[in-house]
Amino acid sequence: MIEAHIGIDPGLFGAVCIYSPDNFLSVIDIPLRKIEGFIKESKGKEVDCQLLNSQIIEHIRENNVNILTMHMERVYGRGGNSAQSTFCLGDSMGSIRATVVIAANPDHEIYSLPKVWKSALKLSADKQKSIDLAISIEPKMVKFLTHSKHHDRAEAFLLAYMSYNLYENN
């Protein structure tokens, strides 16, 4: 059985990365579904928890993976965001977190604020730097990072990579 770690960059355009050095690497874009009577901030979409659950379970079963840790970016509403926007962000994060925990059953869960985990890797808000670092750490990531809009995939990988390092060093 392959021991792996999951990194999650939450949000409507986020990603989940399942990572085990030298063994297995998979990236899943957060699937979305249309919703009726939507509020403007959600753009008429929400996380498709059933599809995300199926995709994670499929990756785990096909590759005989045991998830040791889940590392998720802890997002929060910022000043200037509307209450609706903050609610949509929280709804997405909670939906993704619950789905991944149920599908992957990780042994440990880690939640990090963006500025904390990014500063640990000497990153800034520059999304291209996240893409470049992900590829430099794991060259296999290049096939998942073909566009600048794939920065969420890079950040999900970096969270999984950090999770692996935290697990191995403790």
Average pLDDT over every residue of 54-83: 87
CB 84 within 8 A of CB 40: yes
Q: 88 vs 117, which has greater pLDDT?
A: 117
**Average pLDDT for the chain:** 89
Residue whose structure tokens are 């995300």: 52
Show the CA angle centred on residue 85, arms to residues 79 and 86, nearest 5°. 60
Q: Which two tokens stand for residue 94?
A: 């909670």
Q: Which domains are delineated in the chain?
A: 2-168 (3.30.420.10)
pLDDT, tens only, 101-160:
999 999 999 999 999 999 999 999 899 999 999 999 999 999 999 998 899 999 999 999
